[in-house]
Chain A
Amino acid sequence: MFCGMGGRKMSRMVVENLSYEYKKTKALSNVDFEVTDGLIGVLGANGAGKSTLMKLIATLLKVKDGDIRIDGTSYKEGAGKIRGQLGYLPQDFVVYESLTGRELLDVLATIKTNYNKEEKNAHLNDIIRSFDMQDYIDKKIKEYSGGMKQKLGFAQAIIGDPKVIVMDEPTVGLDPEQRNIIRDLFPVMSKGRIVFVTTHIVEDIENYCNFLLVLNKGKLIFKGSKDDFVNEVKGYLWEDILDISETVILKNQVKIINSIPSGDKKRVRYISKEKLRDNAIAVDVSLQDAYIIHCALYDKESKND
């Protein structure tokens, strides 16, 4: 019932020249992209503008410069027209701990949908089953673990079968096991709708996202598929075994991603367009490496400009 595949046509979101300023600080600058149903990973360091972009999409900030459109409906026509098609999971998901999970979902379903009591209960039971929350949904939220709370956050975001769901850093503060459980829910969430997931942890989206947006200092430095993201910087990552003095010299020439002690030397990985030393070997670029390389190249270009 809630998975959004019941004959609904594919949604399309277009973001055009979107900029946003907090007083005198530019948080976003001329962001442009177009996405359809699927999981959209939004990567960026802290302060890159991810949360600002998500708040704009979630109508929590007013779009002033540029525009966002969902299936042709512009955000500038008024937030009222967009709300109700949205689900939102904020960065710190804190709700009334004295309520049970079901009570929280019930009140949000009452605001969000026009279902009668039977329809509402059926809809909520469907969601609860999908997220496997039957065992604890009637317990008070204060008794939930971090992962259970986050599952509840996912469940509330999907109420009313929204076209777009915005999840701001959904895995922050979770232990590795809980993080895996939460990540496995991404495919359920993104079935038949656009789901944005912001993170600075690349593993969170590595296996699930269909489209990638990478922000750096308020600018969109990449939009496209994961494969394109990695392929664009293939051949930029090198590994070499160096002693300390060589490492210091190399550090002044290029950006070193990591250096791991190896005997009395160091195994150094660095970013360079070309091979700098004969012994250096080209390394396969992972998504995380690609993210670091893209950001480093962008910073270098910005400095040169």
Chain B
Amino acid sequence: MISYYKKHINNIYNFNFFNALFILTVILNGILLLGVKTNHMGFGHNSPINNLFSICDFYLLLIYVVLIIFTIGMDFKNSMSHISLCASKGKSNDYMIKKIMTIISQYGICYGITLINIIYCYNKIISGNNEMQNHLVMLIISSVITTIFVTSMTIFFIVLIKDIPKTIIVVISLYFVEEYLRRGQVTRKYGILAHRFYWDWRNMGFNIRVKLAYLAASIIMLVFSYFWLGRGTKK
């Protein structure tokens, strides 16, 4: 199913997005791995390893978010959302859900490569330092939950607003507002969202309940999106 819809999405854009992004991810991760292996790269606030993780994770997510918005948003602009809904066998829009699942699965592959690489590099650098090992767990939980939240939020808003430019503005601004709130005095303690790992986090504390609240919000948004996709009316 995934490979069929992957080909279909590539045909829509007349460009093999997924292969291009996969190659980009592999190259960036290769550079990261090479840097760690050859130069014994350190891991700090402004270290190359941290910045590379940002590129692989944060920027890659933004690219996929935009891809979801365009791929789904175009269906609302043309007749495909209605035609495919009538053709669906269930309560929701099978066609659009399968396209979303295809994009997420492709992002999942790129994200997985990055995550495994980061864990490998991190372990290579810290070699048995328990305090730093704890930071790695924080980084992984934060990154995974943020990724799930931002993806769910994107799907939720494109299904709700059904308009590409408006959704891009809403999702990107919400994302950036959240990212910057995290650095503000009031909310930094709880780490609202986290993609970039900051070395001075070690004194910030980590509130798992906040992360779980984001996870719960993500599930709620996905459930709403599923049912809203099954309704044919345009706003």
Interface residues of A (CB under 8 A from B): 55, 58-62, 78-80, 83-84, 86-90, 92-96, 98-99, 103, 107-108, 110-112, 156, 159-160, 166
Contact A78 B87 (CB under 8 A): no
B8 contacts chain A at the CB level, 8 A cutoff: yes
Interface-lining segment among B73-81, B111-119, B147-155? B73-81
- Does the CB pair A98–B232 fall under 8 Å? no
Q: Is the interface of A mostly helix, strand, loop or mixed?
A: loop
- A242: min CB distance to chain B, Å: 48
**Interface segment out of the listed B11-19, B56-64, B161-169, B188-196:** B11-19
Can you give 19 A-B contacts (C-beta < 8 A)?
A: A58-B82, A59-B86, A61-B233, A80-B89, A83-B90, A84-B89, A86-B86, A88-B82, A90-B82, A94-B77, A95-B80, A96-B11, A96-B78, A96-B80, A103-B11, A107-B95, A108-B84, A108-B87, A111-B89
Q: CB within 8 Å of A: which of B13-37?
A: 13-14
- Assuming the contacts A58-B232, A60-B82, A111-B95, asked whether A96 and B87 have C-beta atoms less than 8 A apart, the reply is no
B40 at the interface (CB under 8 A from A): no
Contact assessment for A83 and B8 in the assembled complex, using a CB-CB cutoff below 8 Å: no
- Interface residue tally of chain B, by bracket? 20 to 34
Q: When A110-B4, A111-B95 are in contact, do A98 and B87 touch as well, CB less than 8 Å?
A: no
* For the complex of A and B, 9 pairs with smallest distance between CB atoms: A60-B232, A88-B86, A94-B78, A112-B87, A80-B91, A90-B79, A84-B89, A86-B86, A111-B87
Tell me if A88 and B90 are in contact (CB < 8 A): no
Which of chain A's residues has its CB closest to B78's CB?
A: A94
Cα–Cα distance between A290 and B87 once the two chains are bound (Å): 36
Q: Tell me the number of A-to-B contacts counted with CB atoms below 8 Å.
A: 87
CB distance from A266 to the nearest CB of B (A): 45
- The answer to whether B233 and A60 touch across the interface, beta carbons within 8 angstroms, is yes
Nearest A residue to B93 via CB reads A111
Contacts of A59 in B (CB 8 A): 85-86, 232
A160 touches B87 (CB 8 A): yes
Q: Could you tell me the distance between the alpha carbons of A107 and B98 in the complex, rounded to whole angstroms? A: 11
In whole angstroms, how far apart are the Cα atoms of A89 and B80 in the complex? 10
Q: Which residues of B contact A89 (CB under 8 A)?
A: 83
In the bound complex, residues from chain A placing their C-beta under 8 Å from that of B95 are: 107-108, 111
Identify which of A78, A92, A95 gathers the most chain B CB atoms within 10 Å of its CB.
Answer: A95
**The one of B79, B80, B85, B233 that contacts A83, using a Cβ cutoff of 8 Å:** B85
Residues in A with CB closer than 8 Å to B85 are 59-60, 83
Judge if B88 is at the interface, Cβ distance under 8 Å: yes
Asked if B91 and A79 sit within 8 Å, CB to CB, the answer is: yes
* Contact indicator B88/A83 (Cβ below 8 Å): yes
Given A58-B232, A61-B232, A99-B12: A92 in contact with B90 (beta carbons within 8 A): no
- Distance to closest chain A CB from B93 (angstroms): 9
Contact with A along B218-231 (1 / 0, CB 8 A): 00000000000011
A58 touches B86 (CB 8 A): yes
